[in-house]
Chains A and B, each alone.
Chain A
Amino acid sequence: MIPFNFEYYKPSSIHEAVQLFQRLDTEEKQPIYYSGGTEIISLARINILYTKAIIDIKSIPECNVLHLEKDQLVLGACLPLTEIEESNFYPLLTKTIQEIADRTARNKITIGGNICGQIFYREAILPFLISNSQVVIAGIHGIKTMPIQQVFHQHLHLKKGEFLVQMITEKADLHLPFISIKKRQQWDTGYPLITVTAAKKPSSSFIENSSNQSLTNYERIQIAFSGLNPFPYRSEEIERDLNQQHLSLEQKVDLATSHLPEPILDDFEGSAQYRKFVMKNTLQHVLSTLEVQ
């Protein structure tokens, strides 16, 4: 049970929602946007979250879009995870979000809620981090569309009153060879020790040989993590390590694990040392699987 009273609003347009936020904020009601609500309920009932006003954005049409256009996939922030799984336009995303919570909870948890939540695993962001994706953000000054790399650093950087409307992913990236692994403390239930998503993307670069320069086509591994640290991320450094063509698989993994960002989580799900061990094994598994694909 949530021990405090709050006002509940359900605007039907983006404009109405941001206006409402501004008004409620001036009235010092500490408004928050509400999508699936699972996290708000979980945290409010134990007094970790407090608000006097909730703005439910589920009636905003743009937030419920689910369609594949000519060049891109558009996913509204208020889509429940299970709906995205069932449409399965982006198999890597399906595989990743299927491992979040359980089916009943995923009927409520939305993609926007998972990405913007306080519970820091936010695994739904991982597939977007390693693809050409953009986020659509609404605010009092209108709607903006930005590359994800510009606005997601550990968490989605939203200004006060802004909310996530849509995720847009380039069609070309939807069916790359991929792997998504979630490692837990034990068996199939629980938060991740580590979740890794990786995809193999055709790429090209100039290679300098002793005699001349040549353009070489190769497949570049793009990889993102959650659970290792108290935030999800994609690291250029680790990707560079894992894509060192001249290194053996073991060497790549060793190099990458020497570049893990600190602090590594050390909590009741697993110690930092153990997480490193799991990370190493998982990276090996990821590389060897992608090599075969």
Chain B
Amino acid sequence: METIGKSIIRKEALDKVTGTAKYTSDHLSLPMLHAKMVISPYAHANITHIDLSEAWKIPGVRAILAGEKFPLTGEEIRDRPPIAYDKVRYCGEVVAVIVADSPAIAKRASSLIKVNYEPLPVVNSPNQAYENNAPVVHENIDSYERIKNVYPEVNTNIANRTKIRKGDMELGWQRTEIVVEADFSFSPSDHAAMETRCVIAEIREDETVVITSSSQSPFMIKKLLHVYFHIDIGKIVVNVPLVGGAYGGKASVQLELIAYLASKAVHGRKVKILNSREEDLITSPVHIGLDATIKLGCSRDGVLQAAEILYLFDGGAYSDKAVDISRAGAVDCTGPYRINNIQCDALCMYTNHPYAAPFRGFGHSEVMFVFERTMDMLAKKLKMDPIELRLINAIKPGDTTPTQLAVNKSNVGNVSECILKLKKIMNWDEGSIKQVSNTKVRSKGICCTWKNSTIDPDASSGVTLTFNPDGSINIISGVVEIGTGTKSVLAQMLAEKLKMDVRQIYVQMEVNTKSTPDHWKTVSSRGSFMAGRALLNAADDIIRQLKDLTACILRCSKVDLEVGLGKVYLKDTPDIFLNIKDICYGYMYPNGNAIGGQIIGRGTYIQRRVTYLDPETGAGNPGPEWTVAAQGIELEFDLLDYTYNVIRAATVVDVGKVLNEKTALGQIIGGMSMGISFAGRETFQFDQAGRILNPQLRTYRPLRYGEHPKYEVEFVETPVIDGPYGARSAGEHGLIGMPAALANSLSAAAEVDLNQLPLIPELIWKTKEGAVDDSL
């Protein structure tokens, strides 16, 4: 019975297509109170006065939280008041929270809170933040508590600096014959998940704190509530039902803290807080922006010799996960190439923008946009085919990464094969640019990507397996079902391992931190890998117990037994067997004696030999494995008005092993559409004062139905030896190369370097007009 690789329909499909699936906000109970936030219209200002008197006059208002100093929060540097105190540092920041009998009362009262602000000079970009005389967003960085391995720089806007120092730069530049230099920039944008974030909090009489949240990080909520508010960790219970899209944005812990404080203010009563779309876009953390400067050199034969890079990530007003994103950007600071001399500084900058959450790809689509665009600029200067340049430099077993780790076939996969397959899909040999009419050209652009996962070195996952009396099995895992179908893939793995029908395997979709084994966070495409490994260990645990018991009953040696098809049987004489259903709750002899007891499987996985990075050189083992890909875009460009349509988008990705074909395709294509949307249209527009001009879906517009190109996906399968069935991560990788591929394709079509995002026709016009002006 082979289940792996098949397109098994996900376990929660029926609930979802019939509309009965329950998300956090679908939970309503009486008497539940409702919270509403008041947010700042200013990007940087002192709060001089808050007048609550009118708001208090509304009947049904139970509590107002404002102007109070709560413990500072933040995952790496504790720099963020959960509700602004004295000062606001971004447009959209929470200034006050009202708790009332109904959402309508809370909203009405919130509009009656009067806040007086005294505007302060605004830091409106990472470049500006980096300038010597820039206003400082946090005056006392040094006073903040922080974890190990974070290096904020006093009296600057630098929250952290990750240094990559590999090889000998002087030697690298000596060997360089062709060099290109370029600047890049793009503003923060957002995840814009369909389900806006929602949290319900209550504090019970015995001081148990119960949180229900639309979160990717139930176990992190538990840990952080303990760290920030000194609640006994055993008294914190977090429930997570199905989550309606997350993309990293729900990995950050923010609204949970506000909901907890709100519940505390009403003596522990149940309080629900549901983001409006506007709040979900700008108040909750966003997709990071970036300014970058790069200098890349190669010898005339196309061999990359040196790369010098400065990444200034727009961490926004608070560092939270942005520090880690900037670190991930340093780890894979180049494309997937063998480059012996690299100097990279990846800085997490404070600005007066909304602060950053992880975003699908975790710093990689951002960094690859910069590096892979530069690769095309280099290819052009070198007069070499961009595919050829990439093939020459593609990283291979034995080469080292920017963090000086020697890679092997298992952990790095096969970049060259991805490139060659892409070349074929894109019909590259027919040429990359073709005039199709007087005013239109068809243009192709490609790029390579890679991504390792830089989650905590000790991140772990656990799985429990229990039997039902009919021999079917329940999987209990801390992975949150965020729409990726991971839990159904776990069921497939178990079916394969136990040679069972996947319909005989049930999955607990909801997570409850009290009864569900810990899974670090459902992020970084780690679900199938980490929970998969834990699951296979748990399956081994079950198999061992089944064999132990059967060996006793059948009076044979354990090694002679095999488990499968609902039976434990003798390998050489399969007609001698016991049905699992007859032993999974203990075995009873004819006289009533019983042995064994119920069988519970237990399995865990912890990351192996991952290290912190050396603070001076960045050397270290950043994570378990890379997933590499080559991606391409073909588009039609109008030479007169600079509009364009993406005709098709292609991805060849080395996923190690396809576990569920349709699910894998869904993940890759979903990522590609999100990447095109981010690259082609999505951005927050800031005015000079740092205010966001488009905090609504009317004006902030992700890709819509009907705007999609044709998607083409092919898989390469180079197994990662320690992955479950050889599978690598795949959840983010469709997205990562889309900005670079789109920019490369468009730059070729428009014959001008397009190094900013989003790639709207106005940008092309501006760049072209600018180029004309320069030549005058």
Contact A274 B766 (CB under 8 A): yes
Q: For the complex, is A118 an interface residue (Cβ under 8 Å from B)?
A: no
Chain B residues lying within 8 Å of A282, measured Cβ to Cβ, are: 641
Q: For the complex, is B693 an interface residue (Cβ under 8 Å from A)?
A: yes
**How near does chain A come to B642, taking the closest CB pair, in angstroms?**
9
Interface residues of A in 185-203 (CB under 8 A from B): 185-191
Flag the segment in B259-267, B368-376, B757-765 that touches A: B757-765
Given contacts A1-B103, A3-B107, A271-B762, contact A187 B693 (CB under 8 A): no
Alpha-carbon gap, A62 to B547, bound state (A): 81
Contact A268 B693 (CB under 8 A): yes
Q: For the complex, is B504 an interface residue (Cβ under 8 Å from A)?
A: no
Contact A3 B108 (CB under 8 A): yes
Contact A186 B104 (CB under 8 A): no
Report B739-768 CB contacts with A as 1/0, cut-off 8 Å: 000000000000000000010111001100
Contact A268 B685 (CB under 8 A): yes
Q: For the complex, is B640 an interface residue (Cβ under 8 Å from A)?
A: yes
Report B92-133 CB contacts with A as 1/0, cut-off 8 Å: 000000000001100110110000000000000000000000
Chain B residues lying within 8 Å of A271, measured Cβ to Cβ, are: 762
Q: For the complex, is A146 an interface residue (Cβ under 8 Å from B)?
A: no
Contact A186 B694 (CB under 8 A): no
Contact B762 A185 (CB under 8 A): yes
Contact A186 B108 (CB under 8 A): no
Contact A189 B693 (CB under 8 A): no
Report B493-522 CB contacts with A as 1/0, cut-off 8 Å: 000000000000000000000000000000
Alpha-carbon gap, A186 to B742, bound state (A): 14
Given contacts A186-B680, A189-B704, contact A278 B641 (CB under 8 A): yes
Interface residues of B in 679-703 (CB under 8 A from A): 680-681, 685, 693-694, 698-699, 701, 703
Q: For the complex, is B706 an interface residue (Cβ under 8 Å from A)?
A: yes
Contact A274 B111 (CB under 8 A): no
Alpha-carbon gap, A45 to B278, bound state (A): 11
Chain B residues lying within 8 Å of A45, measured Cβ to Cβ, are: 276
**How near does chain A come to B77, taking the closest CB pair, in angstroms?**
32
Q: For the complex, is A59 an interface residue (Cβ under 8 Å from B)?
A: no
**How near does chain A come to B218, taking the closest CB pair, in angstroms?**
28
Q: For the complex, is B707 an interface residue (Cβ under 8 Å from A)?
A: yes
Q: Select A189's contact among B108, B643, B707, B766, beta carbons within 8 Å.
A: B707
Closest A residue to B706 by CB, please name it: A188
Q: Select B111's contact among A47, A187, A278, beta carbons within 8 Å.
A: A47
Most interface-central of B641, B704, B758 (chain A CB within 10 A): B641
Contact B765 A277 (CB under 8 A): yes
**How near does chain A come to B634, taking the closest CB pair, in angstroms?**
16
Chain A residues lying within 8 Å of B761, measured Cβ to Cβ, are: 185-186
Chain A residues lying within 8 Å of B706, measured Cβ to Cβ, are: 188
Report A1-34 CB contacts with B as 1/0, cut-off 8 Å: 1011000000000000000000000000000000
Q: For the complex, is A117 an interface residue (Cβ under 8 Å from B)?
A: no
Contact B694 A189 (CB under 8 A): no
Alpha-carbon gap, A188 to B758, bound state (A): 16
Q: Select B704's contact among A1, A188, A191, A267, beta carbons within 8 Å.
A: A188
Q: For the complex, is A46 an interface residue (Cβ under 8 Å from B)?
A: yes
Alpha-carbon gap, A45 to B110, bound state (A): 12
**How near does chain B come to A25, taking the closest CB pair, in angstroms?**
24
Contact B680 A187 (CB under 8 A): yes
Chain A residues lying within 8 Å of B276, measured Cβ to Cβ, are: 45
Contact A281 B641 (CB under 8 A): yes
**How near does chain A come to B344, taking the closest CB pair, in angstroms?**
32
Chain A residues lying within 8 Å of B703, measured Cβ to Cβ, are: 187
Closest B residue to A280 by CB, please name it: B641
Closest B residue to A3 by CB, please name it: B107
Most interface-central of A187, A268, A270 (chain B CB within 10 A): A187
Chain B residues lying within 8 Å of A187, measured Cβ to Cβ, are: 645, 680-681, 703, 707
Contact A270 B762 (CB under 8 A): yes
Alpha-carbon gap, A270 to B764, bound state (A): 13
Contact A1 B693 (CB under 8 A): no
Chain A residues lying within 8 Å of B699, measured Cβ to Cβ, are: 190-191, 268-269
Q: Select B681's contact among A46, A183, A186, A191, beta carbons within 8 Å.
A: A186
Alpha-carbon gap, A197 to B347, bound state (A): 50
Chain B residues lying within 8 Å of A47, measured Cβ to Cβ, are: 111
Chain B residues lying within 8 Å of A186, measured Cβ to Cβ, are: 680-681, 758, 760-761
**How near does chain A come to B613, taking the closest CB pair, in angstroms?**
39
Chain B residues lying within 8 Å of A102, measured Cβ to Cβ, are: 704
Contact A42 B765 (CB under 8 A): no
Q: Known contacts A269-B699, A274-B765; can you find 11 more A-B pairs with CB under 8 A?
A: A3-B104, A4-B108, A42-B698, A46-B278, A183-B641, A185-B762, A187-B703, A188-B704, A189-B707, A277-B641, A282-B641
Instruction: Name 9 A/B residue pairs within 8 A (Cβ), A-sorted.
Output: A1-B103, A3-B104, A3-B108, A186-B758, A187-B645, A187-B703, A189-B704, A190-B701, A270-B762
Which A-B residue pairs are the 7 nearest by beta carbons? A3-B107, A268-B685, A281-B641, A268-B693, A3-B108, A186-B760, A186-B681
